[in-house]
Structure 1
Amino acid sequence: MLACPLCQAPLAQLDNGVACAAGHRFDRARQGYLNLLPVQHKNSRDPGDNQAMVQARRDFLDAGHYAPVAARLAQLAAERTPGAWLDIGCGEGYYTTRIAEALPAADGYALDISREAVKRACRRAPQLTWMVASMARVPMADASCDFIASVFSPLDWREAKRLLAPGGGLMRVGPTNGHLMELRRLLYDEVRPYADDKHLALVPAGMQHAHGEVLEFTLTLPEAQARADLLAMTPHGWRASAEKRSRVIEQPAPLEVTVSMRYDYFVRQD
């Protein structure tokens, strides 16, 4: 299943890591993950989300604020009964763990480019294969996955298609135009709309859109810390002015926002 990120040859298990026939070896970190991101594939010294962003996301998600989003994703994954699955861009592992709970008999893999995220994620479900790796060069064999989840994550569509077995599918979960609208109105003088279906134009030939739905609910955040965590885990945490961020965090009234997620499932046909 695993492929060398340097030469694409199969990786075999060793005592404390993996190696290919060409002699490229990758050790397993003490937390349990494999670092399959060679230095020449990095765009920076420590790519991906930093420790503060990862911790904010972990605190917010572990508080259950997006539990309906994870529950629906796990249900949709279970309906497809994959033998092997991958969470591509797993972050700190909240959604990955819910998928793993729904698919106890399947072989699960998860990767993110952020080492800080994967360090925390792998403790949630040690039975999975956790990897620090590039989403543009996934260290897995062609047609090795029956199901791929991509949640709030950038996606290389052609790489995803390469990984899917014929008949396998990718579930993409992302925000609609109405997601966190109330928060965006507090932060910006002008809220710019965006097309939440623009990803459909990027889907490569040979993949069919087989399912689509929207999940929407109202979230109430009475605590200042929860509002701060929400800002820290979204682009609004650095796009909005410090003054407006502080106003949102410190407001005496609870913050009510709309959570609106789009689920799209694409099946590989060829």
Structure 2
Amino acid sequence: MYRCPVCAEALSANSAGLACVNRHQFDRAREGYVNLLPVQQKNSKVPGDSAEMMQSRRLFLNAGHYQPLSDAVNQLLASVHPATLLDLGSGEGYYSNRLQQALPETAVYGLDIAKTAVRYAAKAYPAVQYCVASAWHLPFADQSFDAVLKLCAPCEPQELARVCKDGAALLAISAAPQHLVELKQQVYPDVRLHSDAIPQLEGFSHQQRQQLSYQLQQVPVAELLALLEMTPLSWKFKPGQKQKFAETNPSISLDFYLDLYLKKQKQ
């Protein structure tokens, strides 16, 4: 499944981890993941979400607030019966772990550029195969996957199409117009809602759109603060404003689009 991120040759397992014919070696960490992010593909010294953002996301997700979204993802991807599945931008592993539980016969792979998140995911969920890598340079062989979950993760569509089999399913999750609108109202005088346009992804044809909307109510202050910290809106709040807002016990709108695509068949 894996290919070398340096020379694109196939990677084979050895006693230490993975290696290619050109002797590029990638050791397996004690937590079980492999780091396939060469230095030239890093965009910063510590790429990806910080440890603080990962911990906030873990607290919020493990409280079950996004379980309806995870359940909808599992149901849609189960309908295509994938043998191999990639969670692109898998973070601390919440969605990939629940996918593995829902689809026990599927080989689930998780990829994220944040080493801290992947380390936690691999230790907590050993049934999923995790790697540290760039979504723009996927370390997988051509036509490796029957399905891909892309949950708010940026990527290169051509590279994504390369690792998908013909006819593979791509489930892309994005924010629908009302998503977190109450948070936006705290920091923007004129709130701009998320677009309802269906993204066109090169190499894929759009099949269907499902919208999932619900309200979070009576959220404990610590969990609401975690939600704030795991969003880019966190930087917009003034000192002390987050705590005051969380203590008002607000209702929060969650609004998602689930867009299902199929990889186009080669002519």
Identity %: 36
Instruction: Establish whether residue 242 from structure 1 lines up as the match of residue 239 from structure 2.
Output: yes
Which position in structure 1 is the counterpart of 2:137? Answer: 137
Which position in structure 2 is the counterpart of 1:184? Answer: 184
Distance in 1 of aligned mates of 2:156 and 2:241: 34
- TM-score, length-scaled by structure 1: 0.94
**Partner letter of residue 238 of structure 1?**
W
Contact in 1 for aligned 2:179/2:194 (Cα 8 Å):
no
Which position in structure 1 is the counterpart of 2:96? Answer: 96
**Hey, which bits of structure 1, 4+ residues long, moved more than 4 A?**
none
Are the structure 2 counterparts of residues 149 and 143 from structure 1 closer, same or farther at C-alpha, using a change threshold of 3 Å? same
Secondary structure of residue in 2 paired with 1:242: coil
Secondary structure of residue in 2 paired with 1:161: helix
Q: For structure 1, which runs of at least 5 residues remain unmatched after alignment? A: none
Secondary structure of residue in 2 paired with 1:182: helix
Distance in 1 of aligned mates of 2:153 and 2:71: 18
Instruction: Establish whether residue 265 from structure 1 lines up as the match of residue 260 from structure 2.
Output: yes
Output one character per residue of 1:242-268: Cα deviation in whole Å (capped at 9) or x when no partner: 3432321233xx221111110001101
Which has the larger displacement, 8-17 or 55-64?
Answer: 8-17
Distance in 1 of aligned mates of 2:75 and 2:155: 22
Contact in 1 for aligned 2:57/2:227 (Cα 8 Å):
yes
Q: Give how far 1:227 is off.
A: 1.4
Which position in structure 1 is the counterpart of 2:211? Answer: 214
Secondary structure of residue in 2 paired with 1:172: strand
Output one character per residue of 1:81-127: Cα deviation in whole Å (capped at 9) or x when no partner: 01111001101110111111121111111100000110111123212
**Partner letter of residue 254 of structure 2?**
V
**Partner letter of residue 134 of structure 1?**
S
Contact in 2 for aligned 1:221/1:227 (Cα 8 Å):
no
Contact in 2 for aligned 1:179/1:258 (Cα 8 Å):
yes
Q: Give how far 1:155 is off.
A: 2.3
**Partner letter of residue 269 of structure 1?**
K
Distance in 2 of aligned mates of 1:118 and 1:221: 31
Aligned residues: 265
Q: Give how far 1:38 is off.
A: 0.7
Q: For structure 2, which runs of at least 5 residues remain unmatched after alignment? A: none
Output one character per residue of 1:23-69: Cα deviation in whole Å (capped at 9) or x when no partner: 00000111111000011111111100010000000000000011100
**Partner letter of residue 244 of structure 2?**
R
Distance in 1 of aligned mates of 2:149 and 2:218: 28
Which position in structure 1 is the counterpart of 2:72? Answer: 72
Which position in structure 2 is the counterpart of 1:223? Answer: 220
Which position in structure 1 is the counterpart of 2:229? Answer: 232
The 5 A counterparts of 1:187-198 are 187-197=187-197
Which position in structure 2 is the counterpart of 1:149? Answer: 149
Output one character per residue of 1:118-170: Cα deviation in whole Å (capped at 9) or x when no partner: 01111232122100000000100011111000112212211111111001011
Contact in 1 for aligned 2:177/2:193 (Cα 8 Å):
yes
Q: Give how far 1:192 is off.
A: 1.6
Instruction: Establish whether residue 117 from structure 1 lines up as the match of residue 112 from structure 2.
Output: no
Secondary structure of residue in 2 paired with 1:72: helix
Which position in structure 2 is the counterpart of 1:42? Answer: 42
Distance in 1 of aligned mates of 2:114 and 2:74: 23
**Partner letter of residue 22 of structure 1?**
N
Distance in 1 of aligned mates of 2:227 and 2:116: 18
- TM-score, length-scaled by structure 2: 0.95
Provide the aligned C-alpha RMSD in A: 1.3
Secondary structure of residue in 1 paired with 2:205: strand
